[in-house]
């Protein structure tokens, strides 16, 4: 399928605000892919599909996780569920077979230790796309130009700090493991 066709399909699946966010993630990922020599097409596909499951009900997300034997996610916050389910839908409904693209979608919310360059790009682009306004985002926008690992480390540090102040018990183990792994680059 051509990228333009896929864009129209995704546009039909998402509310307009979320589609705008998605286009922001696509353009940010494209720049980073060129800068860090990753396949442009992989970056575009992963970015376009990363939040495809964002508006499914928790019941529907739960069902998808159960049928894919990914029930560990059910022990943790539903806010994270759309990421692994997005990867399931990308494979089943959009026929994406490339494991790097599928993992970039799966881990876009939590991150994980030792990410591939594509995984880091999608994780960061989601956090810094032009529509984002959270505190500290500008310093990550600058860091990303210099050092991808340091930018990932700072993003995880900010996310863990934000989540700890909200509800400490609710941080996904992948987020914590990623934070511990990338801490070395801070």
Q: Please report, for residues 49, 61, 87, 152, the alpha-carbon distance to residue 183 in angstroms, rounded to integers and kept in the order given.
A: 28, 31, 27, 9
Residues 6+ apart with CB under 8 A from 95: none
| Window 114-153: residues binding ligand DGI (CB under 6 A) | 126
Q: Please report, for residues 70, 75, 160, 163, the alpha-carbon distance to residue 166 in angstroms, rounded to integers and kept in the order given.
A: 26, 18, 10, 5
Contact pick of 38, 90, 122, 171 for ligand DGI (by CB under 6 A): 171
Contact 178, 110 (CB under 8 A): yes
Candidates 27-35, 87-95, 104-112, 114-122; binding stretch for ligand DGI (CB under 6 A): 104-112
Size of the site for ligand DGI (CB under 6 A): 17
Q: Check binding of 172 to ligand DGI (CB under 6 A).
A: yes
Contact pick of 3, 34, 79, 99 for ligand DGI (by CB under 6 A): 79
Please state, in angstroms and rounded to a whole number, the distance separating the CA atoms of residues 41 and 90.
Answer: 15
Which residues are near ligand DGI by CB under 6 A? 21, 51, 54, 77, 79-80, 83, 108-110, 126, 159, 163, 170-172, 175
Which residues are near Fe ion by CB under 5 A? 51, 126
């Amino acid at each position: 399928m051509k990228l333009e066709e896929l864009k129209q399909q995704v546009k039909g699946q998402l509310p307009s605000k979320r589609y705008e966010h998605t286009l922001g993630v696509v353009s940010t990922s494209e720049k980073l892919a060129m800068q860090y020599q990753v396949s442009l097409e992989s970056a575009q596909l992963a970015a376009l599909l990363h939040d495809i499951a964002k508006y499914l009900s928790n019941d529907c997300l739960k069902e998808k996780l159960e049928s894919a034997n990914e029930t560990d996610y059910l022990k943790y916050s539903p806010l994270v569920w759309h990421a692994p389910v997005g990867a399931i839908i990308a494979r089943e409904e959009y026929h994406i077979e490339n494991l790097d693209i599928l993992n970039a979608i799966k881990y876009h919310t939590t991150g994980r230790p030792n990410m591939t360059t594509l995984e880091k790009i999608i994780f960061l682009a989601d956090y810094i796309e032009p529509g984002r306004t959270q505190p500290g985002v500008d310093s990550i926008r600058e860091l990303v130009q210099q050092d991808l690992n340091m930018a990932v480390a700072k993003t995880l540090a900010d996310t863990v700090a934000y989540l700890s102040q909200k509800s400490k018990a609710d941080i996904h183990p992948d987020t914590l493991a990623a934070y511990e792994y990338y801490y070395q680059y801070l």
